[in-house]
Structures are given as C-alpha cells and as structure tokens.
C-alpha cells in the first residue's frame, strides 16, 4: 500500500493511494498514519479494504509528511561508501548516529526555509525507514519484522552549523523544514529489495545526485538492529539512512542552496518530492 497524510499543516488526515493513483480518505478507518496504525495487524486490516469504498480526496490537495506524531527522528551519517569518498572521510567502523528534530518534518512538496544567516544549506536524498512495532535489542534476523515501510527523506543540512560550529551534527540538521518526508509511506511488502533502489536529486533541473541503496555501508537490517541496542524504537519512529554522492559540500568548489532554487528528488518505487527554497522571514 501507499499511505499518505493530506490537508493543511497540523490538520493532516490519513489516506491511501488506490491503483489508479487517486487518494482515498482513511479517516473513518484510522485516526492518523501514526503510532498503532502502523502495526502489522492494523496494516493488514487496511490492506483488506476495497479502496473504492472510501471517499475520494480532491486532486491537488496538499500532501503532508507521510507519517505523523514522529517521536524519534534518527539519522545515519556517512553511510554510503561513494559519499564518504567524495567528502574525504574514512569509512565508519560502526554507524554514525545523530538526531534530527521531529519539529523539522514537513510535507514532501513544502518550501524549504533557509535558516537565518545560513550560507551553506545543502541537499541529501535519503531512504527513510518507518518503524511499525516496538523494538528493543532486536536481532538482525528479525529487524525487518518491525519495519512498517519506507519513504523518501530530504535530509536538508546546514553545513556551517553542522561542521564549523563545534559539538554535534544535529545543529545543522534540525532547522525548521529540514525534514521533508513522503510523498507516500510505501508498506514494506511492496518493496522487493530495499538494498537495490535507485536514488536521484536535481537542483533547478540539473542532476546532482545519482546513486543506489546498494552502496550503503550498513544496510537497513543492520541499522534497525543496531539502533535498537541504544534506544527503544517506537511505532512511527523514522530512521533516515544516509545519502549517495553529489551533495553540494562535496563539489569543487562547494555549491549550496539559495532562495528560488527548486529541488526535486526521488527513489525507485517511493515517489518524488519537489521543494522550493525560500529565504527566512521572521
């Protein structure tokens, strides 16, 4: 299934995408695409429904982030061998983890706002994993059993804040609008091989990133299991798993986003996002 959340920011309602690409309202079935609704049992109940019995959502309705009420937004750094190479970094011996603020999550086509005074805001197309079952110390052979599905994340990053301001990476990762998720949450049963998905990102129509989840250093199985040894993963938690090469930081000279830029990105089977970059006003 492809699950969505639609409507105005903060007022999103649950929906699903039918075989014709029409969004159907799920409000009478689940309160939100969040928490307990992401369990295997609940998803199985939704999958048995005939989408044509559900109300149609008007075309052009805004899509919100595809998962709601995210409590933990965990990110993995330098997790693609070819991206590590472009930045001159050593291959990590264990996953590098950091937090993105849940408050940075926005819809897949919402504007990306440059932080006040930002000069080095960058793009990163990433595969995000959405947790469906509570997980603590989950072994690798069971790791995929706690995954509800997958979506696209643009791990927007302010490199000066991240690298030059001391402390942890989260400084450059959690600014408002720095976590577009969606357009859909694609349930795990529809993704045949999560480690063989093509990924791309364009800025103003120019291809910047081309990659594949096959070059991940630590795969989804490893990451879910590993992270669950350091924290309890709850239904609705999001893990964004790293980016392939082609980020602005790795260019010579580096290139960063400016107001008016349009960023488009996609992953095989998971849809496409499109954001306009705007200046901070406040």
- Supply angle C-alpha 138, 139, 140, rounded to 5: 120
CB atoms within 10 A of CB 266: 18
Residue 236 Cα distances to 35, 78, 156, 261, 279, angstroms: 5, 24, 20, 31, 31
CA 110 – CA 113 distance, rounded (Å): 9
Please compute Rg for the chain using Cα positions: 18
Q: What is the pLDDT of residue 90?
A: 83
CA 100 – CA 248 distance, rounded (Å): 19
Q: What is the pLDDT of residue 168?
A: 84
Domain ranges of the chain: 67-278
Q: What is the pLDDT of residue 81?
A: 84
The CATH number of the domain covering residues in 67-278? 3.90.850.10
Helix-strand-coil split of the chain, %, nearest 5: 20, 30, 50
Reduced to 3 states (helix: H, G, I; strand: E, B; else coil), residue 86 is helix
CB 104 within 8 A of CB 176: yes
Q: What is the pLDDT of residue 257?
A: 98
> Among residues 162, 187, 181, 184, which one has the least CA distance to residue 172?
162
Q: What is the pLDDT of residue 2?
A: 98
Give pLDDT < 50 ranges for the chain.
Answer: none
139 token code pair: 């072994």
Q: Give me the phi and psi of 100, to 5 degrees please.
A: -105, 140
Chain centroid to Cα 115, Å, comes to: 20
pTM assigned to the model: 0.96
Cis peptide bond upstream of 70, omega within 30: no
Q: Give me the phi and psi of 233, to 5 degrees please.
A: -90, 130
Q: Residue 147: which residues within 8 A CB-CB, separation 6 or more?
A: 129, 130, 131, 132, 188, 220, 224
For residue 281, with 0-12 CB atoms within 10 Å meaning exposed, 13-18 middle and 19 or more buried, which class applies? exposed
């Amino acid at each position: 299934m492809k699950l969505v959340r639609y409507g105005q920011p903060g007022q999103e309602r649950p929906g699903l995408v039918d075989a014709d690409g029409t969004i159907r309202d799920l409000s009478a079935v689940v309160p939100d695409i969040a928490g307990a609704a992401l369990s295997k049992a609940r998803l199985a109940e939704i999958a048995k429904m005939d989408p044509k019995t559900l109300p149609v959502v008007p075309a052009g309705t805004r899509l919100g982030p595809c998962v709601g009420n995210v409590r933990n937004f965990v990110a993995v750094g330098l997790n693609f061998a070819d991206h590590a190479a472009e930045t001159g970094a050593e291959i990590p011996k264990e996953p590098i983890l950091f937090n993105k603020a849940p408050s940075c999550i926005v819809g897949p086509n919402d504007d990306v706002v440059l932080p006040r005074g930002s000069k080095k805001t960058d793009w990163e197309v990433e595969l995000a994993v959405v947790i469906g079952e509570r997980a603590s110390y989950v072994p690798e052979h069971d790791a995929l059993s706690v995954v509800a599905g997958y979506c696209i994340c643009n791990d927007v990053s302010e490199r000066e804040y991240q690298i030059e301001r001391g402390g942890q990476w989260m400084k450059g990762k959690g600014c408002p609008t720095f976590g577009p998720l969606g357009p859909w949450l694609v349930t795990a049963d529809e993704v045949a091989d999560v480690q063989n998905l093509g990924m791309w990102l364009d800025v103003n129509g120019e291809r910047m990133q081309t990659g594949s989840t096959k070059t991940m250093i630590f795969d989804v199985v490893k990451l879910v299991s590993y992270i669950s040894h350091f924290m309890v993963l709850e239904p609705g938690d999001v893990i964004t798993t790293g980016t392939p090469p082609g980020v602005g930081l790795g260019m010579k000279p580096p290139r960063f986003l400016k107001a008016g830029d349009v960023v488009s990105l996609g992953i095989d089977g998971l849809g496409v996002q499109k954001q306009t970059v705007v200046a901070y006003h406040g």
